[in-house]
Amino acid sequence: MIMASRWSTSQLIAEYKDLQAVCLAISGDGWCALSSRRSISLINCDTPEVIDHWIKRETKWDAKATEFNPLDNNLLAVTNAQTVQIYNIDANTRKVPMKPAVDSSVGRNGLNGTQLQTLRGHTRTITDLNWSYSDAHALATASYDNNMHIWDVRDGRRPQLSMSSVAGATQVKWSRASEHTLATSHEGDVRVWDRRKNNIPVHYITAHLSKINGLDWNPNIGSQFATCSQDGTVRFWDLTTFKGKPDIILTTGLPVWRARFTPFGNGLITALVPQLRRTGENNSLWMWSMDCFDQPLHSFVGHLDVVLDFGWHNRNGNDYDLITWSKDNSLRVWKVDSQILTLQNEDNCEFSADDINDNQSSTDSANDTELSAAAAARLRRPNTLDISPTYNKSPSDQFKRAAAGYHVLSSAADTAKKPQTPETPVNSLTQEFAQLNVNIPNVQIEELNATKRVCIITATTSVSCRLKMLFPADYPNHSAPHFSFLTSATAPSDDVKRDLLKVLHTTAYLQVKRNRMCLEACLRQFITTLERLTGSSPALLYATRLEPISGLIPSRHYGGYLDASVPFPRTSGARFCSGELLVCFGRPPHLEQMNAPTEYTPRSLSALDSFLSALHRQSAAQTNQITSPLVPSISSFYFDSSRHKRTKSRSKRSQTDPKSVANKHSSSNCGPVFVFSAAGLLPISRVLAENYAVKANGGDIVAMCETNAKVANTFGRRDLCQTWNLLKLSAEIYLKSLNSANIMDTPWALHPFGKKMVQSLIDHSVLKCNDIQTAAMIACTFHTTDTKSKLPPKQSQPGIANNSPGSSPYHTVCSTIQAPNTPETYGDWSLISAVESLKRTRSNSWSDFAENEALISGLVNSANNNHNDNFAQQLELEAHENNTKMLEPKLQFQYDCYKQIYADILYRWQLMEKRALILKSCLTVNQSQLFHVGIDFVTECQNPYCEKRYNTCRGPYCGHCKTPTLKCAICRMPVRGAVNHCVVCGHGGHTVHMYNWFAESDQCPTGCGCFCLQNNHNIFA
């Protein structure tokens, strides 16, 4: 969960910049051998900063692998291209002659530190070697030449045994349990061999799809081994239960370079390779418990580059040294107590198990449930106290942190494998008491006795209160401690006591339910509740109100292992907002990037880890004490050049406590936010938008063009001024030609300066200049004339009785499944009556509605025949109409798009009136966007032009010609607002009118004879 609380930096660091070693070997008695091209350096684990001895090694090749014999600490094997060199290093003196004797006939008890043997046999580079765990003389080697050899080092002239495969091997490892078994890896495959049957592998496993980087046998389970690969996973295989699939897969997200079991407990150490091996990324080693792979247990932070190799040295009993060698040329030694695994297992795994149960490892929900239950009462009151005002971490974090450190007090000798056994209850309580943070404000611990299993505290606020806690034997496994109050000088009232007990029980129960220890949580909860109930200093109230819940929800600090996939935070940015604004933020100028200027900003958040550890190390070194790590923040990645100058002297710096530094630091951690106007860069202009004239239908387009030309000129847009003037001239002639209205003339629109010019002007502004404003405005200008131009022919249309009350436009309810072309207009009276009669027979069910539709359309078709001759004329007129238009009707949709986009920008500028005017000229828009589900009320436009095309309208206006379609049956005025209709006869009108009418009558106001109230009631009953 909280990774930052469980990391450690190394105790000993030694840098060997000039060594250029790539391989590390660690002997059983604590010697490290670093092999480079020039030498093998021997270093004692206790004093890593000194190279004790070195063996000269003149070779052109880097050693691929080097290893001490686990059974004989004097034997060291190092690969050298196709050969293996065996060195003997004297156990007593560790003296190695500067130049190794090349006398291979000398036995191992001969000269101190000599090269004993050179094993020749492979024909290509040897990639790995491994000493047998059972036979001191057996060494296995793997090579790209497709062979694996087993050598007896007493006779190194030729391999004792050979195995061959079709692919080159990159890893070879003897089983620790079975003396005859060894495993080799070949790209993504693993072969397991028995040396007694060396012609064919015992097992052949297609383990990974990518290259296997490392292989290791489990020291505890003899048949199990782990493979780690470039594909970012570690897979575990058990030969006894082998089914072709890995038992467990651990996914890390980054290529895994090495994965090895820990020599103690049931753990695993992984070393990862950041992609592209960028420095500053997460190069930390992780320790995992084999029992839960949700989170690594521990992170070893410090290496600045890829960890090339690591090994263990058992100091004594439980103390282990982890020795690591990294590409950053530093050798680090980390003290690890084998109990670390035990303790953390207890803590971590319980926690993780909860996570899984709760919601797919969603720690949030786990925490939130905890939160909601434990502190629901408190959180509902916004101004109550926080349980841990001075701590940002939840109590369980405190435990974890303590457990992560090295102050492990348990004395159990071998609890490594079974961390949660009930045999160790004393230990867990002892541990809990030992790790208890006693600095809880206003709480004094009087007694803390693990053997008596009792804890007595005194809490002092305005009253003082003594609390005794008795821990049952099976605590904390589902068993909460018993709480009781002891007599004190100023005891709180009984009510307060009752409330306190309730809170304590809830808190304790929530923790022990998960087998978690609850002492500290209870104490903190206790004191805050007490403070709340009895009143407390206002200063404290104020201080805690700011972060009401951060104490309960474990704060998400950086450092989780998931950080490898979290992108490194942006600390600067620019964003276009609203119409023309550009919002920029950035780091303040005095904060510089920590890493060298030649390096790029890291990719992921995990890079912060290494910087933090560096910071921590630095402060620890300067103050000579272990300071708590700073709360990790992105700002620590950046280097404050101004602060550095101020506090250059070391003495000053050592005095500053990291927290105050952090505070001082933070005051200038954020730079200002700048808001720029990028208006000058945009093709559109707000001032133009404000001043442009947009006229509604019937406006004088010549005057409009003229005004707009003036506006453009005033604001320095002479190009637009010209455009508008040109349009004005064209519009003048156009209007004239319209007024002459001689149908035989060639319409002005067909002239090159007519429609074509308008179109090219629009295209130019959009395609070349991204100037939606001009395009929309031009389209808008000529739209007004175009709609007007088609009004006159309407008058000439004969034979439509649109004043008859029967031809009410309010129509009927139609289902949305209806095809858009289905005719719904019944043209004239006779048809209407036919339909009316049909309607009367309509049943209550909507299911036969489609049938009715079919009937209606049949009727309409026959009616249409009567108009056939009219229709041909109509088509011709329509074609002519299109020719007279200044805007190509086919492009109308596109123009409407422009208008819509421009309208949206006007909205951003809050020029609502202009926007409305622009939108008014849109013909086709909005209808397609009305996603209405279910039954729709549609009306028909009475305009004969629209009627012919069977236009249905879904609003008060016809979408095409913009004439009102709804007329009230009573007042005969167009209806825009609330409207009510009879679904049977289709008549209706203003809601108020209808309401008043039907208050007195139950028949339709048009006199159609429909008993609207009764009929509607029947239909909807």
Partner 1 sequence: MVSIVSQVDTSHDDMIHDAQMDYYGTRLATCSSDNTVKIFELANGQQKLLTTLIGHTGPVWQLGWAHPKYANLLASCSYDKRVFIWKEVSANHWERVYEHLNHDSSVNSVCWAPQEFGLMLVCGSSDGSISVLSSQGDGIWDAKKISNAHSIGCNAVSWAPAIPVLAAGGGQDGSSRQLVKRFVSGGCDNLVKIWKFDESEEKWTEEQRLEAHSDWVRDVAWAPSIGLPKSYIASCSQDRRVIIWTNTMDGPNSSNWSYKILHTFDDVVWHVSWSVMANILAVSGGDNKVSLWKENFDTNWICISDMTGNKNN
Near partner 1 in 768-827, by CB under 8 A: 768, 770-772, 820
Provide the residue type at 18 as one letter: D
547 binds partner 1 per the rule CB under 8 A? yes
Q: Is 679 or 814 the residue whose CB approaches partner 1 more closely? A: 679
Give me the torsion for CA of 790, 791, 793, 794, rounded to 10°: 130
Which CB sits closer to partner 1, 562 or 621? 562
**Closest distance of CB 776 from partner 1, Å:** 9
| Between 547 and 836, CB nearer to partner 1 | 547
Stretch that binds partner 1, among 680-688, 748-756, 913-921, 956-964 (CB under 8 A): 680-688
Q: How far is the CB of 235 from partner 1 (least distance, A)?
A: 18
Among 13, 202, 581, 661, binds partner 1 (CB under 8 A): 581
Check residue 360 for interaction with partner 1 (CB under 8 A).
Answer: yes
State the binding string over 108-147 for partner 1 (x if CB under 8 A, else -): ----------------------------------------
Give the other-Cβ count within 10 Å of 590's Cβ: 15
- Closest by CA position to 272, among listed 607, 14, 32, 26: 607
- Beta pairing class for 171-174 and 181-186: antiparallel
Q: How far apart are CA 587 and CA 589, in angstroms?
A: 6
Q: What is the C-alpha separation between 738 and 765, in angstroms, rounded? A: 27
| Contact pick of 19, 349, 897, 982 for partner 1 (by CB under 8 A) | 897
Give the binding range for partner 1 (CB under 8 A) out of 119-127, 595-603, 710-718, 747-755.
595-603
Cα–Cα distances in angstroms (integers) from residue 396 to residues 349, 370, 379, 632, in the given order: 13, 12, 19, 19
At its nearest, how many Å lie between partner 1 and the CB of residue 664? 12
The rounded distance, in Å, linking the Cα atoms of 436 and 519 is: 8
Find, among 175, 100, 86, 7, the residue nearest to 613 by Cα. 7
Contact with partner 1 (CB under 8 A) among 98, 249, 376, 549: 549
Determine the 3-state secondary structure of 314 from DSSP.
strand
Q: Please, which residue, 153 or 564, has the CB nearer to partner 1?
A: 564
Instruction: Determine the Cα angle at 403 with ends 399 and 408, to 5°.
Output: 130
Express the helix, strand and coil content of the chain in percent, nearest 5 each. 35, 25, 45
Tell me if 672 contacts partner 1 by CB under 8 A: yes
> Which residues ranging from 527 to 546 are in contact with partner 1 (CB under 8 A)?
546
d(CA 656, CA 647): 10
* Interacting span for partner 1 (CB under 8 A) from 188-196, 751-759, 901-909, 1013-1021: 901-909
Q: How far apart are CA 694 and CA 736, in angstroms?
A: 21
- Measured over all CA atoms, what is the biggest interatomic distance in the chain, rounded to whole angstroms? 128
Instruction: Give the burial class of 711: count Cβ atoms within 10 A of its Cβ; 0-12 exposed, 13-18 middle, 19 or more buried.
Output: buried
Residue 467 has phi, psi (to 5 degrees) of -125, 135
Q: How far is the CB of 507 from partner 1 (least distance, A)?
A: 20
Query: Among residues 603 and 981, whose Cβ is nearest to partner 1?
Result: 603
Cβ-based nearer residue to partner 1, 565 or 1003: 565
Q: What's the closest the beta carbon of residue 236 comes to partner 1, in angstroms?
A: 22
Cα-Cα end-to-end distance for the chain: 60
935 binds partner 1 (CB under 8 A): no
User: According to CB under 8 A, which one of 580, 786, 940, 947 is a site residue for partner 1?
Assistant: 580
CA-based nearest residue to 844, from 649, 1015, 647: 1015
- What is d(CA 463, CA 624) in angstroms, rounded to the nearest whole number? 41
Q: What mask, x for binding partner 1 by CB under 8 A, covers residues 902 to 921?
A: ---x-xxxx-----------
3-state secondary structure of 346: helix
Count the helices and strands in the chain (H runs, E runs): 26, 43
Q: Are strands 39-44 and 673-677 parallel, antiparallel or unpaired?
A: unpaired
One-letter-per-residue 3-state SS of 146-208: CEEEEEECCECCCCCEEEECCCCCCEEEECCCCCCEEEEEECCEEEEEECCECCCCCEEEECC
Q: Which of 16, 558, 724, 997 binds partner 1 (CB under 8 A)?
A: 558
> Which of 362, 462, 714, 1014 is close enough to bind partner 1 by CB under 8 A?
362
Q: How far is the CB of 24 from partner 1 (least distance, A)?
A: 30
Phi, psi dihedral angles at 905 (to 5 degrees): -70, -40
Measured from the CB atom, is 631 or 800 closer to partner 1? Answer: 631
CB of 1021 to partner 1, least distance (A): 29
Round to whole Å and give the CA distance between 1019 and 1021: 6
Q: Which of 500, 489, 557, 556 is nearest to 532 (CA)?
A: 500
d(CA 734, CA 142): 91
Q: Which is nearer to partner 1, 632 or 944 (CB)?
A: 632
Q: Do residues 587 and 572 make contact, with C-beta atoms less than 8 angstroms apart? A: yes
Q: Rank residues 363 and 506 by Cβ distance to partner 1 and give the closer one.
A: 363
Nearest CB to partner 1, comparing residues 645 and 768: 768
Vertex 626: Cα angle to 659 and 616 (nearest 5): 65
Of the residues 767, 879, 916, 971, which one makes contact with partner 1 according to CB under 8 A: 767
Which residue, 441 or 889, is less far from partner 1 as judged by CB?
889
* Least gap, CB of 155 to partner 1 (angstroms): 51
- Residues numbered 681-740 forming contacts with partner 1, rule: CB under 8 A: 681-684
Q: Which is nearer to partner 1, 219 or 548 (CB)?
A: 548
C-alpha–C-alpha distance, residues 53 and 471, integer Å: 56
391 vs 433, beta carbon nearer partner 1: 391
Fill in the per-residue mask, 372 to 401: x = in contact with partner 1 (CB under 8 A), - = not in contact.
------------------------------
**Comparison of 529 and 773: residue with beta carbon closer to partner 1:** 773
Name the amino acid, one letter, at 630: L
Q: Does 898 bind partner 1 (CB under 8 A)?
A: yes
Tokens read off for 782: 């000529």
Closest to partner 1 by CB, 163 or 958: 958
Which is nearest to 396 in space by CA: 550, 529, 521? 521
Nearer to partner 1, 95 or 570 (CB): 570
Spatial distance between the Cα atoms of 719 and 766, rounded to a whole number of angstroms:
14
Number of chain positions touching partner 1 (CB under 8 A): 99
Compare residues 562 and 703 and give the one whose CB is closer to partner 1.
562
Per DSSP, the residues of 559-575 read: --GGGGGSBPPP--EEE
Least Å distance between CB 297 and partner 1?
Answer: 19
Q: Should residue 871 be labelled a site residue for partner 1 when binding is judged by CB under 8 A?
A: no
Task: Report how far Cα 361 is from the mean position of its chain's Cα atoms.
Answer: 15
State the minimum distance, in angstroms, from the CB of residue 212 to partner 1: 20
Binding partner 1 (rule: CB under 8 A), the pick from 390, 578, 642, 697 is 578
Does 673 sit near partner 1 (CB under 8 A)? yes
Q: Is 894 in the site for partner 1 (CB under 8 A)?
A: yes
- 361 contributes a contact to partner 1 by CB under 8 A: yes
User: Which of these segments, 11-19, 92-100, 153-161, 596-604, binds partner 1 (CB under 8 A)?
Assistant: 596-604
- Span 626-665, contacts to partner 1 by CB under 8 A: 633-635, 638
> Which 201-260 residues touch partner 1, going by CB under 8 A?
253
319-338 footprint of partner 1 as x/- string (CB under 8 A): --------------------
Among 356, 574, 626, 973, binds partner 1 (CB under 8 A): 574
Q: Which of residues 278-307 bind partner 1 (CB under 8 A)?
A: none
